[in-house]
Chains A and B, each alone.
Chain A
Amino acid sequence: MQLSLLLAAPLGWLVLAYIGSLVVLFIAAFWRLDTFTAEIVHDYGFQNFRTLWESDVYRAITQRTVGIAAAVTVTDALLAFPIAFYMAKVAGPRARGLLVVAILMPLWSSYLVKVYAWRIILQEDGALNWSLGPLGLPGPGFGNVATWLVFSYLWLPFMILPLYAGLERIPNSMLEASGDLGGRTWMTFRRVIFPLALPALVAGSIFTFSLTLGDYITPQLVSSTQFIGNVVYANVGVANNLPFAAAFATVPVAIMIVYLLLARRAGAFESL
């Protein structure tokens, strides 16, 4: 009795407002837009998915989105490892606390402002070209490299924190044992630290990968290329083709479901 009182409001809200909306959206993916009347026609079929599959443009966009998401994930893993290891195993308790705050604050601070900051830095007469100029190097400008760089920047804290937590859980005695048995730094890293940290690494990669897959504002602000999200957004807004937008939106969701299943097998969920 009491339980149902407690649960009624939150479950009612989430199931009615949210799950209901999602289900309708998923059903809408099987509707179609009448191109003459611009009305949504409720006859069911796979036509939207067929368009997605057969069109070279949409396939290229999907490949670009997934490719950059993968590149961002690898970049963040490489960048996060040294700082996470330093926090977990080298820094004293006080420095560690400060570092956690130093990583948490930018994680929570405005997404849009960070993208905007990079837009200013990357532009023609911005800070990056200015500082690379004396070295004779050109900056990346706006484009795929810029999207990769900005995404790597945005999601880095989401990789550092789970990795730090995972590395902290490795007992120091394991590292000592490896050393006593003759393991040098590289050997210990490869045979002891890396395998033990892998679930945490996969946990972090869930964020870096999925956040990149669903984004549309960063590509819009620092490149002229399209991600899945840009096509979806354009179809909801300008083209008013909700069925096609809904169909394309199922692609990142499906990729994430597969990714999550693989991540669960790697034991990543205990590290979340």
Chain B
Amino acid sequence: MTISPLVKLGLRIATGVTLAFIYIPLAIIILYAFNTRRTLTWPIPGLTFKWFERALDNPGVRDALWMSLKAGLGATAVALLLGTLASIAVSRYRFFGRETVSFLVVLPIALPGIVTGMALNATFRTVLEPFGIGLGLFTIIVGHATFCIVVVYNNVIARLRRTSRSLEEASMDLGADTWQTFRYVTFPALRSALFAGALLAFALSFDEVIVTTFTAGADQTLPIWILANLSRPNQLPIVNVVAVLVILLSAIPVYFAQRLSRDTSGIAAPATAAAGARQ
């Protein structure tokens, strides 16, 4: 079958329409951030920057942004460590239950977010509260790290599968110990995959809502702040600005991660695998 010009034209139009469907709502929310009017009536009468200043001066927004950054960095650090360890174990060793490790890593995002959230919430309240650790930044980080591990794991393991073991063996034959081999051979090969994984883990943590509602207690991350302020008409102009901020801060890491990992399969696969964490 050669694709006829008519079918090609149809496909091209369908592609354009689908892209418009995906991007128009995002464009509309960005326009609303510059809305001169307080209410959300469409079309907007004019454009202004004033809400950006108000948003950045808003103590609630600043606290939530700061909380989101701390949570994202904490979760990314934990996920980097645990995801890398697990991926090296699975790709470089044969052992009983090797398949189970991949399954375990994916599980926190494969299950509905509400199940993960509820389970962690119940455990935190029974195990941590007797020690005086309430829900807050620490429990947010634990929750986020749990579902961020898979992103690092998938990125690193894809890279490890493509880098030959013989380099590591050569290094050991030449007298390097395990740590030196890791430091001078394995790590440099993994560096960009680690960075891409870290960026994606941060993006994932930065706009997660559902697990966070169960683990945050009284603390607010940026998405939780949005959720709490949706019902306050007064705050909506600021909510619009925060929404744009969240789009930017999750899109920028993804863009760079995409460029870093070059071949799209390395990132598209974990992206689809990371589906569950969105919800």
For A135-160 the 0/1 string (1 means CB < 8 A from B) is 00000000000000000011111101
B172 interface residue per 8 A CB criterion: no
**15 A-B pairs (CB sep. < 8 Å):** A10-B101, A18-B108, A86-B14, A106-B22, A111-B209, A153-B22, A185-B1, A188-B1, A210-B110, A213-B112, A214-B279, A215-B112, A221-B230, A249-B115, A256-B112
Is the CB of A242 closer than 8 A to any CB of chain B? yes
Which residues of chain B come closer than 8 Å to A15, judged between CB atoms?
Answer: 104
Contacts of A175 in B (CB 8 A): 1
Q: Name B's interface SS.
A: helix
Cα–Cα distance between A66 and B142 once the two chains are bound (Å): 31
- Please give 5 more A-B residue pairs, beta carbons under 8 A apart, in addition to A106-B23, A214-B111, A249-B112: A11-B86, A13-B146, A99-B15, A100-B264, A242-B118
Q: Are A114 and B25 within 8 A (Cβ)?
A: yes
Determine whether A21 belongs to the interface, using a CB cutoff of 8 Å to chain B.
Answer: yes
A210 nearest CB across to chain B (Å):
7
* B-side contacts of A14, CB under 8 Å: 82, 104-105, 107-108, 146, 149
Binding-face segment, A41-49, A50-58, A125-133: A125-133
Q: Say yes or no: B149 contacts A216, CB within 8 Å.
A: no
Contacts A111-B278, A215-B279 known; A7 to B214 CB distance under 8 Å? no
Mostly, the A contact residues are: helix
Bitwise interface map of B from 111 to 133 toward A, beta carbon under 8 Å scored 1, else 0: 11111101111110000000000
CB <8 Å contact, A126 and B122: no
Q: Residues on A close to B: CB < 8 A? A: 2-3, 6-7, 9-11, 13-15, 17-22, 24-25, 28, 79-80, 82-83, 85-87, 89-90, 97, 99-114, 116-121, 123, 125-127, 130, 153-158, 160-162, 165, 175-176, 178-179, 183-185, 188, 192, 207, 210-211, 213-217, 221, 229, 232-233, 236, 242, 245-246, 249, 252-253, 256, 272
Task: Check B122 against A28 for contact (C-beta < 8 Å).
Answer: yes
Distance in Å from the Cβ of A173 to the closest Cβ of chain B? 11
Q: Are B118 and A108 within 8 A (Cβ)?
A: no
A22-B119, A101-B258, A253-B112 given as contacts; is B250 within 8 A of A161 (CB)? no
- Kindly identify which residue among A90, A109, A157, A253 contacts B3, using a CB–CB cutoff of 8 Å: A90
Partner of B272 from the list A116, A246, A272 (CB cut-off 8 Å) is A272
Which B-chain residue is minimally distant from A12 (CB atoms)? B82
Across-interface contacts of A214 in B (CB, < 8 A): 111-115, 276, 279
Central interface residue in B15, B255, B265, B279, by most chain A CB within 10 Å: B279
A90 touches B12 (CB 8 A): yes
Contact between A110 and B246 (Cβ–Cβ < 8 Å)?
yes
Contact A6–B250 (Cβ < 8 Å): no
Binds A, one of B35-43, B159-167, B183-191: B35-43
**Nearest CB in chain B: distance from A15 CB, A:** 7
- Interface contact tally, CB-CB below 8 A: 270
| CB-CB under 8 A for A10 and B123, given A110-B246, A112-B207, A118-B25 | no
Q: B146 touching A211 by the CB < 8 A rule?
A: no
**Binary CB contact string for chain B from 246 to 257 against chain A (1 if under 8 A, 0 otherwise):** 110011001100
Are A130's CB and B273's CB within 8 A?
no
Contacts of B108 in A (CB 8 A): 14, 18
A25 to B78, CA, bound (A): 24
Instruction: Kindly list chain A residues whose C-beta atoms are within 8 Å of the C-beta of B119.
Output: 18, 21-22, 24-25
Residues of chain B contacted by A156 (CB below 8 angstroms): 18, 21-22
Whether the pair B26, A106 counts as a contact (CB closer than 8 A) is yes
> CB within 8 Å of A: which of B57-102?
78, 81-83, 85-86, 88-89, 93, 95, 101
The answer to whether residues A233 and B227 also contact, given A2-B178, A120-B29 and a CB cut-off of 8 A, is no
B158 at the interface (CB under 8 A from A): no
Does B51 sit at the interface, judged by CB under 8 A?
Answer: no
Please give, as numbers and ranges, the residues of chain B lying within 8 Å of A6 by CB-CB distance.
Answer: 85-86, 88-89, 93
B227 to A, closest residue via Cβ: A112
A160 to B88, CA, bound (A): 31
Alpha-carbon separation in the docked complex, A157 to B271 (Å) = 10
Specify which of B18, B206, B209, B214 lies most central, judged by the most chain A CB atoms within 10 Å of its CB: B18
B42 interface neighbour in A99, A114, A125, A272, Cβ under 8 Å? A125
CA distance A233 to B119 in the complex (A): 12
Determine whether the beta carbon of B271 is less than 8 Å from that of A130.
no
B19 touches A236 (CB 8 A): no
* Residue B195, interface by CB 8 Å: no
The docked-state distance in angstroms from the alpha carbon of A3 to that of B14 is 51
Q: B203 in the interface, Cβ–Cβ < 8 Å?
A: yes
Contact present for A211 and B275 (CB under 8 Å) = yes
CB-nearest residue of chain B relative to A235? Answer: B118
Complex: A187 Cα to B197 Cα, angstroms? 43
In the complex, A104→B274 CA distance in Å? Answer: 12
B11 CB-CB contact with A under 8 Å? yes
Is the pair A21, B122 in contact by a Cβ cutoff of 8 Å? yes
Q: Is the CB of B247 within 8 A of A109?
A: yes
Q: With a CB–CB cut-off of 8 A, which chain A residues contact B246?
A: 109-110, 112-113
